[in-house]
């Protein structure tokens, strides 16, 4: 099951809802993407469709009972575009074909346009010294050069314009087709007129205008394709990390097999220096493993029997035997790639600004061009068709909305890709956008601020009870619990020689503790509230419990048959980077709060060690979500940071939920952002990358709109030749993409 589908099911969406990723061909500008998106969303049975111009993809959520994959593809084709199910392994080849095709067209178009440009240069007085072959000045020779550029190389613009107009809308192709056709058509008219009128000695021709415009627009598209290829480099680099083969043991023999042929349960041998081919559990051996390609953490992690390892990480110095637990699309790397793809394909809310503008932009520009044409023809230079035509063509060309459509998605692609390289997974463009608005960070304690691996420190048995009996009963009860504290208690008591027993009628009470029946005895292990609810008198242990809690330990009471029997304590040390990370968050002006179900004394001790001033303790899982809501009602933008399991309600309630951890579980968390390093510095890094990405998007939108706001009036006043307008339009698109690519080198401040 894909991460997207799992998320849909967690959100309560019917199982009949399917996800379809498509490659879209033929889009030229934001208006194209908007039209496809609008058409798909109107299709009965489609829940949501988003189209990404930069990636040339579409993601469609649809109800399989009401509409089929074929229906969706047919709708895209009906709108005048190509569509096919997305297959990742074909992406590189498709990109290569696209770039090669565009390059070929640019070369042919440039060769045919060069003599026309040369002839045009001969008309400028400041270039009077330039020799121009007489042949280049002949109208029919220029016609012969311009015609294949207009109708062979430029045919794609006519096709795109026809399809757009047929569907009742307009796009960049309409502007290009109108502008170049006007220049070419007027030139053909003048050519025919000159050949039939012997008295015409000078002819105003604009063949070079249409040919050079087409060449420059195609050149801009080529640069865009090259730049967009770089912007998806993050995904390609992740995919290249995957091992190609694996050394497995089958029927007692070692054999090398392609990684695709590894099956669950296979025992894989990983030698020093090799990549791990799959996710698994270390069965034999010990080594340090470089997990930087997954977590962004540069220091190798020590691994031994029982530890989890992940595919694509590098075994440094010892031989390991690993049992495969996740293969193929279920590995941590595959899920991370999927999350990054989904983030890059999603649409940030700020994109709506560009969508609204592009939806009405082309018709408005056509209207402006017509007004400019008639103003010039009737008022500025009465009767001068050539000057009127030049001004109108310049307006049409300078206004192409390509840059506007690329402004947001290219930045989202580059920003989310860079974040993934630093071990930060944004689950969608909207989360990348919203993260920079956070002003309050709420931190869970266990596994977030602390290492999450508590150790048993104390077992104080009350008078009248046998220590071995009590230890055996505690092990039996806690062994059925999945809580980290329970694991620490069981591990610690067994290391002390505690024997095993069987528990019956086990019951976990979140926020309180556990209850079980062991060897006919009724056990209760947990908080003061649990004891009070069972009328257990623990006054004799109250002083010792308070003392342990003041030391930063988590103390739990043990009752047997409703009588106090023991006091048990565990301690969880804070992560080495937690204090530094909290200090960094405070320096950024963020309010930092620790929210925990632990008792107040322990919580305050841990908070003090981490440098946190505000503590909300003894809060049940459901209560954590309520505490987050209280902060939101007070006007705070809240990021909840936890392990993504016990803190799920709070993560879902917060403006941004951040899951801290590593490995395959991270990609499946119901959080908005996954911090794979398990380091709280990732919070500040995520906020910093969000700020840089949003700043980049605003820069792109500003320049995309500025080109038009400044360029259209200049063109309307006749101060911009059409071929210069084409160059400026191409430059605007390329500059937006190049600006977005700066995020690939972004540093988390």
Q: Could you give the residue numbers annotated as active site?
A: 444
Tokens standing for residue 649: 């309600």
Give the whole-angstrom CA distance, residue 45 versus residue 528: 54
DSSP state of 445: I
Q: Do residues 512 and 530 lie in contact, with contact meaning Cβ atoms separated by under 8 Å?
A: yes
What is the C-alpha separation between 520 and 57, in angstroms, rounded?
63
Specify whether the CB–CB gap between 471 and 483 falls below 8 A.
no
The answer to whether 357 and 407 are in contact (CB under 8 A) is no
Residue of 414, 520, 458, 472 lying closest to 739 (CA atoms): 414
Whole-angstrom distance, CA of residue 442 vs CA of residue 200 = 81
Residues in contact with 466: Cβ distance below 8 Å, sequence separation at least 6, in sequence order: none
Of 696, 741, 746, the closest CA to residue 422 belongs to 746
Q: Report CA 726 to chain centroid distance, whole Å.
A: 33
Question: Taking a C-beta distance cutoff of 8 angstroms, is the pair 624, 638 a contact?
Answer: no
Tokens standing for residue 547: 């003392």
CB-based contact 456:491 (threshold 8 Å): yes
Cα separation, 57 vs 91, in Å, equals 11
Helices 402-421/722-741 angle, 10° precision: 20
Edge-to-edge strands, sheet with 424-426: 424-426, 673-675, 656-660, 638-642, 440-443, 591-595, 614-616
Both tokens of residue 356?
A: 């609204």
**Cα–Cα distance between 729 and 403 in angstroms, integer?**
8
Q: DSSP 3-state assignment of 173?
A: helix
Alpha-carbon span 318 to 322, nearest angstrom? 12
For residue 537, give the 3-state DSSP assignment.
Answer: coil
Nearest alpha carbon to residue 663 among 422, 416, 325, 310:
310
How far does CA 237 lie from the centroid of its chain? 15
> CB-based contacts of 606: which residues, under 8 Å, 6+ apart?
445, 449, 450, 552, 572, 574, 594, 596, 598
Triad 55, 60, 61: Cα angle to 5°:
145
CA dist., res. 57 & res. 64, Å (int):
20
Tokens of 178: 């109108």
Residues with Cβ within 8 Å of 239's Cβ and at least 6 positions away in sequence, in order, are 88, 337
394: phi then psi, degrees, rounded to nearest 5: -60, -40
Residue 128, classified by CB atoms within 10 Å of its CB into exposed (0-12), middle (13-18) or buried (19+), is exposed
Q: Could you give the CA distance from residue 138 to residue 186 in angstroms, rounded to a whole number? A: 16
Spatial separation of the C-alpha atoms in residues 208 and 72, rounded to whole Å: 42
For the chain, what is the radius of gyration of the CA atoms?
33
Q: Among 368, 337, 435, which Cα is nearest to 658's?
A: 435
Q: Which residue has the tokens 């941004």?
A: 656
Give the C-alpha separation, 472 to 490, whole Å.
Answer: 10
Q: CB–CB of 154/217 below 8 Å?
A: no
| 503: exposed, middle or buried (Cβ count in 10 Å: 0-12, 13-18, 19+) | buried
């Amino acid at each position: 099951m894909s991460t997207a589908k799992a998320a849909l099911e967690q959100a309560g969406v019917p199982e009949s809802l399917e996800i379809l990723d498509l490659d879209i061909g033929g889009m030229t500008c934001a208006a194209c993407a908007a039209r496809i998106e609008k058409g798909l969303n109107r299709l009965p049975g489609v829940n949501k469709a988003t189209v990404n111009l930069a990636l040339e993809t579409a993601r469609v959520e649809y109800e399989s009972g009401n509409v089929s994959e074929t229906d969706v593809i047919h709708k895209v084709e009906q709108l005048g575009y190509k569509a096919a199910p997305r297959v990742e392994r074909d992406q590189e080849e498709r990109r290569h074909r696209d770039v090669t095709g565009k390059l070929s067209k640019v070369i042919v178009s440039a060769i045919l346009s060069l003599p026309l440009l040369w002839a045009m240069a001969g008309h400028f007085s400041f270039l009077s010294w330039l020799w121009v072959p007489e042949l280049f000045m002949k109208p029919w020779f220029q016609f012969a050069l311009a015609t294949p550029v207009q109708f062979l190389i430029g045919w794609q613009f006519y096709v795109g314009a026809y399809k757009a107009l047929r569907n009742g809308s307009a796009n960049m192709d309409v502007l290009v087709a109108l502008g170049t056709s006007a220049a070419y058509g007027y030139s053909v008219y003048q050519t025919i007129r000159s050949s039939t009128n012997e008295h015409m000695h000078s002819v105003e021709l604009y063949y070079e205008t249409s040919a050079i415009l087409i060449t420059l627009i195609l050149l801009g598209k080529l640069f865009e394709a090259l730049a967009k290829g770089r912007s998806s480099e993050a995904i390609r680099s992740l995919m290249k990390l995957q091992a190609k083969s694996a050394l497995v043991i089958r029927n007692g023999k070692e054999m090398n097999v392609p990684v695709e042929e590894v099956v669950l349960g296979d025992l894989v041998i990983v030698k020093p220096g090799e990549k791990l081919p799959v996710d698994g559990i270390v069965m034999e051996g010990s080594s340090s493993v470089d997990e930087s390609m997954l977590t962004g953490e540069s220091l190798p992690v020590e691994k031994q029997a029982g530890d989890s390892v992940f595919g694509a990480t590098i075994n440094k110095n010892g031989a390991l035997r690993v049992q495969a637990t996740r293969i193929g699309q279920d590995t941590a790397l595959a899920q991370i790639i999927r999350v990054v793809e989904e983030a890059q394909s999603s649409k940030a809310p700020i994109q709506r600004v560009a969508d609204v503008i592009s939806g009405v932009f082309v018709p408005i520009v056509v209207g402006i061009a017509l007004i400019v044409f008639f103003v010039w023809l009737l008022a500025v230079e009465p009767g001068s068709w050539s000057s009127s035509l030049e001004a109108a063509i310049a307006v049409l060309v300078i206004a192409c909305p390509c840059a506007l459509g690329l402004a947001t998605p290219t930045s989202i692609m580059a920003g989310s890709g860079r974040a993934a390289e630093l071990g930060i997974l944004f689950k969608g463009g909207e989360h990348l956008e919203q993260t920079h608005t956070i002003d309050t960070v709420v931190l869970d304690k266990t596994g977030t601020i602390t290492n999450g691996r508590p150790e048993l420190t104390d077992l104080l048995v009350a008078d009248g009870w046998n220590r071995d009996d009590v230890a055996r009963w505690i092990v039996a009860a806690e062994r059925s619990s999945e809580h980290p504290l329970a694991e620490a208690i069981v591990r610690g008591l067994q290391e002390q020689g505690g024997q095993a027993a069987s528990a019956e009628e086990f019951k976990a009470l979140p926020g309180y503790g556990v209850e079980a029946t062991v060897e006919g005895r009724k056990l209760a292990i947990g908080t003061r509230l649990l004891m009070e609810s069972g009328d257990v008198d623990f006054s004799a242990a109250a002083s010792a419990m308070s003392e342990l809690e003041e030391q930063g330990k988590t103390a739990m009471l043990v009752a047997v048959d409703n009588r106090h029997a023991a006091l048990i304590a565990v301690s969880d040390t804070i992560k080495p980077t937690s204090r530094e990370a909290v200090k960094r968050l405070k320096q950024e002006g963020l309010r930092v709060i620790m929210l925990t179900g632990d008792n107040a004394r322990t919580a305050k001790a841990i908070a003090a060690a981490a440098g946190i001033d505000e503590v909300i303790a003894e809060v049940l899982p459901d209560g954590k979500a309520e505490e987050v809501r209280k902060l939101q009602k007070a006007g705070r933008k809240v990021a909840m940071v936890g392990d993504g399991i016990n803190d799920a309600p709070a993560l879902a309630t917060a403006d941004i939920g951040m899951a801290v951890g590593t490995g395959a579980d991270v990609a499946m968390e119901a959080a908005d952002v996954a911090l794979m390093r398990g380091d709280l510095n990732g919070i500040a890094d995520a906020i910093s990358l969000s700020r840089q990405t949003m700043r980049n998007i605003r820069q792109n939108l500003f320049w995309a709109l500025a080109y038009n706001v400044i360029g259209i009036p200049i063109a309307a006043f006749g101060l911009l030749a059409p071929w210069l307008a084409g160059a400026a339009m191409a430059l605007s698109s390329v500059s937006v993409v190049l600006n977005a690519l700066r995020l690939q080198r972004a540093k988390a401040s």
